[in-house]
Amino acid sequence: MADVRPRRTTDPSHLTESVAMLLRWELQGGVWRVLGRDGEQVTVGLFTCDAGEEMDRFTSADEQLLAVVNERSGSEDDLPD
């Protein structure tokens, strides 16, 4: 499987809608956090740049998104190697 983690992706054309949305949010300075996961899907919250106010949230079973957020609790976590 290709590496689809946001900070390491140079060509966004192959990204799914949910991963592209997460990448745009992070690139614009926003913070995202995993609010819940059950193995088959994940709920992600989108927060203001100061990580204060929740602006939106979504739940997805997108495999590419699950790979991006795997082992991370949010955008402030380091990317695994």
Alpha helices for the chain (secondary structure H):
17-27, 63-69
- CA angle in degrees (0–180, nearest 5) for 19-24-21: 35
Residues in the chain: 81
Q: What is the predicted pLDDT for the residue at 3? A: 47
- CA angle in degrees (0–180, nearest 5) for 59-61-63: 130
Question: The whole model's pTM is what?
Answer: 0.77
CA distances for 4 relative to 54, 57, 70, angstroms: 25, 21, 11
Q: pLDDT tens-digit profile of 46-68?
A: 999 886 899 999 999 999 999 99
